[in-house]
Amino acid sequence: MNSLGSVSPERRHWRRTLRAGLFWTALGLGAATISYACDADLAARSLGFDRTASILFFALVPIPSLALGVRGLALALRLRDAARLAEGVRSYLATHLPAGFVVVPHYRPLDGGDDEIPLLVIGPAGVTVVQPRADEGVIRCSEDHWYRERAYGVGRRLPGASVSQLARRNASRVRRDLATGGFARTRVEPLVLFTAARLGDVSSSTVPAVAGLEEAVAHLARISSSESHSDRTRAVASALGGLAVA
């Protein structure tokens, strides 16, 4: 089993995002401290406002910085979790898939988009774009809208973009890159992987979905042809791996 690809963009970016979030949070807290310490009457005379308007002004000053800080901290945590999920799936697949497969984690398409493709698995049958999710519980799909099943009432929709639509979009991005590299006929298929959930009715999903890493290995092995195409697999892996680390 081979593993190619770049260092996770999330791993590269989440610490920088965390630092930015901490900076804006500190700036907002500093502004709030200064605003609290200011004398309202002195501020009113200095700004030319009445006392009530001055108090309102200083109360609003810290809000933009605090909002940017909270947003940055939340984004940093999401990026860190996404990196850890992709790395965990990569490690399992690289260990358990049979010979003839190549794993390319954290692929950066040539279209210049900021969002990475978490995982590509290249096998004898072509390329599978794996879109992992760490949601728990029972997951259902209704026309590419994904929900977590509840004991009573309508299920809660999963946060973020539709995972099946995202997988299809990422598969199209890989197809374009392969066409650019001279592998236009290579089969590229999307796959949704729920690492910790159980699947309910997902028949209306436009993308195959599996639950659990063992099922993912079985699915990938099943769709691969019995005929060996190791030379072509290595060629496709080399092309995508070279793009990923470029």
Q: Which H or E run contains 37?
A: helix 9-37
Q: Which H or E run contains 84?
A: helix 62-96
Task: Give SS3 for 108.
Answer: coil
Vertex 8: Cα angle to 4 and 9 (nearest 5): 130
pLDDT of residue 4: 39
CA distance 57 to 32: 11
Comparing C-alpha atoms, which of 244, 234, 163 is closest to residue 205?
Answer: 163
CA distance 101 to 196: 24
pLDDT of residue 172: 95
pLDDT of residue 204: 93
pLDDT of residue 8: 46
Comparing C-alpha atoms, which of 235, 135, 230, 127 is closest to residue 182?
Answer: 235
Tokens of 159: 């946060």
CA distance 200 to 138: 6
> What is the extent of the structural domain holding 52?
2-244
pLDDT of residue 100: 82
pLDDT of residue 110: 84
Please report, in tens digits, the pLDDT of each residue of the chain (246 residues total). Answer: 333 344 444 445 656 666 777 777 777 777 777 766 676 666 666 666 666 776 666 677 777 887 777 777 666 666 677 778 888 999 999 999 988 888 888 888 888 776 788 899 998 889 999 999 999 999 999 999 999 988 776 678 888 889 999 999 999 999 999 988 888 888 999 999 999 999 999 999 999 999 999 999 999 988 775 445 555 566 666 666 554 433
CA distance 203 to 180: 33
pLDDT of residue 239: 63
Domains identified in the chain, total number: 1
